[in-house]
Amino acid sequence: MGERWVQILAPIIRIDWFWESAGQVNLPAGETKLVLHDLTGFCGRCDAIFFSRDKTPPPPGADGVARSWRRQLLGLPDKPVSVESFDVVVIGGGIPGAAAVLTAAQLGQRVALVHNRPYLGGNASLEIGLSPRGIIGPVVEKISKRTPTGDLKARQLLEAEPNVTMFLEYTVYGTVVSILGLLSGAETLYSEESRAEYGEGMAPAQGSNIHHGNTVFFRTKDADAPVPFPAVPWATEVVRDFGDLNGQLIQPCFENGTGPKVERTENSPSLQLPRRMALPLTHFWEYGQHLDPYTQGEHIHDHLLRAIYGTFSNGDYVLNENDIRTHRKFPDAVVQNDGAFCLHYGGDAKYNFRLKFWEWDNRDGEPYDIPFRCLYSVNINNLIIAGKHVSATHVAGSNMKFMGNGGQHAIATAVAAQLYNKYNTTPRGVYKNHLEELRAKVLNMAGKKNRAEESHL
The whole-number pLDDT of residue 436 equals: 96
**Residue predicted with more confidence, 404 or 350:** 404
Per-residue pLDDT at 217 exceeds 80: no
User: Measured in whole angstroms, how far is the alpha carbon of residue 1 from the centre of its chain?
Assistant: 38
- Residue 455, judged by CB atoms within 10 A of its CB (0-12, 13-18, 19+), counts as middle
Distance CA 26, CA 28 (A): 7
With cut-offs at 50, 70 and 90, classify the pLDDT of residue 130.
confident
DSSP string over 385-401:
--GGGSSB-HHHHHHHT
Predicted confidence (pLDDT) per residue in 352-377, tens digit: 777 777 788 999 989 999 999 999 98
Q: What is the reported pLDDT for 457? A: 46
Q: Cα separation of 314 and 318, whole Å?
A: 7
Indicate if the pLDDT at residue 229 is higher than 90: no
Using a pLDDT cut of 70, give the percent of the chain over it: 81
* 343-356: burial string, b at 16+ Cβ within 10 Å, e else: bbbbebeebbbbbb
pLDDT of residue 309: 63
Most confident region among 13-27, 200-214, 406-420 by mean pLDDT? 406-420
Lowest model confidence (mean pLDDT) among 112-126, 182-196, 284-298, 375-389: 182-196
Per-residue confidence (pLDDT) for residue 166, from 0 to 100: 97
**For range 401-414, the mean pLDDT:** 95
Arithmetic mean of pLDDT, 403-425: 96
Residues 222, 199: Cα–Cα separation, whole Å: 49
Q: How many helices (H) and strands (E) does the chain have?
A: 12, 9
146 vs 158: CA distance, rounded Å: 14
Q: Is the pLDDT of residue 179 over 50?
A: no
Answer yes or no: are the C-beta atoms of 138 and 114 closer than 8 Å: no
Q: What is the pTM of this model?
A: 0.78
- Classify strands 111-115 and 88-91 as parallel, antiparallel or unpaired: parallel
Q: Which residue has the higher pLDDT, 177 or 327?
A: 327
pLDDT, tens digit, for every residue of 262-294? Answer: 565 554 445 455 555 555 555 567 777 777 776
3-class SS letters over 30-46: CCCCCCCCCCCCCCCCC
State the CB neighbour count (10 A cutoff) for residue 369: 21
Structural element, H or E, at residue 432: helix 427-433
How far apart, in whole angstroms, are the C-alpha atoms of residue 191 and residue 353? 18
Instruction: Give the integer Cα–Cα distance in Å for 338 and 450.
Output: 11
